[in-house]
Structure 1
Amino acid sequence: MKNSQLILQAIDYIESNLRQPLSVLTLSRESGYSLYHFIRLFQGVTGFTPGDYMARRRISEAARDILSRPQRTFHDISLDYSYNDYETFTRAFKRLLHTTPTEVRHKSNPDIPLLLHRIQPIDLPYWSNQMGATPDLVDLGEIKLQGPFITVTQDQSVIGAAWAQLFSSLSDIPNRKLPEQYYQLGYWPDNYEDNGISFHIACELDNSTTVHTGNLLPTRILPPARYLRFKHKGPSAEVSATYKYIYGAFLPRTEYRLNLSYEFEYYGKEYLGPDHPNSISEIYIPLTLL
């Protein structure tokens, strides 16, 4: 059995027991490895120690419950995830999410909580690539964009339809930069799991362009900001694996704080098309306005 398959089995076991007491020793015995070897193997494949993965997953799911189940008390939710006392729960919450249960429920923390979603088999190759890379810190000036604006809930095909609309409407954007510079701008509302995620599928306008809100296609202006720039190599449909690593694994281990609820992908010279295995898109995560 490959190491990744063994760790995925361990993750399945963790996910099945998120609401039950579970020790790393029990996990190692289930895997058939010594405790020391299992911890090293788990960390080598995922970037997390098994104990850290369990803690982050429990707190992430607890945070989602706090947002989606307002009738439940914090104490009851802490018990749901095997925290025997509320004080331990709040300390873990603060340590892992840099916020409190009260701030999450009231949405009063200016920073975006960095939740860890379950690691899936498709994630691991992308996580392996990202663990050996360091993102760039870049400052970008104002970016003017124009193109279709959509909201995605369950049907992902609307993204492809929006790109088709943009390409068919390029002649309606006379002030676009040439050669065309393409972007996919995403907005993540607090309740995105219920109401979907909004995307602006767009090309960049010339800096001298005066943006008119009455144009056929919507326009957006991104203010000057500082970003972390990551790269995703592979089909566009699998970019969520890279995003999951950025928000769930990389950023929580840094001192960076996120309070700008958007991000964007840029498709430059290394982008070879949405289905090409060697296609590279750039992901920009805003840190602060300049």
Structure 2
Amino acid sequence: MIMNSIFYQKKIEQALEYAEYNIGSDLSLQTISKIAGFSPYHFHRIFHSVTGKSLHQYILERRLNNCASKLLYEDCDITRIALDFGFSSSSSFARSFKKHFGCTPTQYKKTKDRKYPVPFSEIVLQQISFDPELEKHFNEIVLADLRTICIGVTGLSEVWENPEINRAYEQIFTWLKENKKFTSDTKICGITMDTPEVQNLSSCRYYACATAESYIHDEHLAYRVFQTSGNYICCKINRCIKDFAACFFKHMDYLYGFYMVSHKFSPDNRPFVEFYERMPDGDIYIHFCVPVKNSKK
């Protein structure tokens, strides 16, 4: 029974990966069930048992959250967003959006209580000025899509303590050691699929990962390729310092509140990535990588 449960989870992961890559395309039950290798009838039941949601509900929420992220950070046309994410019209998008978020897309764009400022926001936000010490902590990199073995967990914490995430990494480390897959090229990383300003931390999806050069079949771990290809701004923080959480949010405030604007970047709608680096003295540094694109402003 345990093996069946793991098998189903891996099949659902294949379906979720396909959905992320094709979020604006046909994601009907017939289409997705073929990807997972089940009949539509059985897939519907298995999907609900694994995710707690129907396929329709899950896809609708993913599309709406993607749209909300764009409304949050980009000065873009609402109708264009609706069509890009698979809605048949701007009116059907607006009805679904209001039901999910409690306001229209236009209202969300103008009045959403953002933590971080954007050039077109009408909300009065804290003013952050140039800080030479913080400025040198950031660098720009380009990532390719990340091929990984991974374990998915739902729920993040502002204090960076999540027993499920810790267990996921322990399981991955054990697998790497037992299968002698830990090479000099292996990177340990975490991937956050959702924007915390759109979704509650408790519902944000996180994947504990180790990079893999090619497909790996295993009964207990999922193999997944994440759409991370593009530009990122990164900062490196010592995970072992006492005030780690406060330090992290200070850096993020500066990144969104000053660095992006001054360097003509805006947030992009791709996964957030963190890479883990263990130092010779035992300290662990986390390289936080935020997806960005060139700003039109």
TM bucket (normalised to shorter chain) is 0.3 to 0.5
TM-score, with normalisation over the residues of structure 1? 0.47
> Taking structure 2 as the reference length, what is the TM-score of the superposition?
0.46
Q: Which has the larger radius of gyration?
A: 1
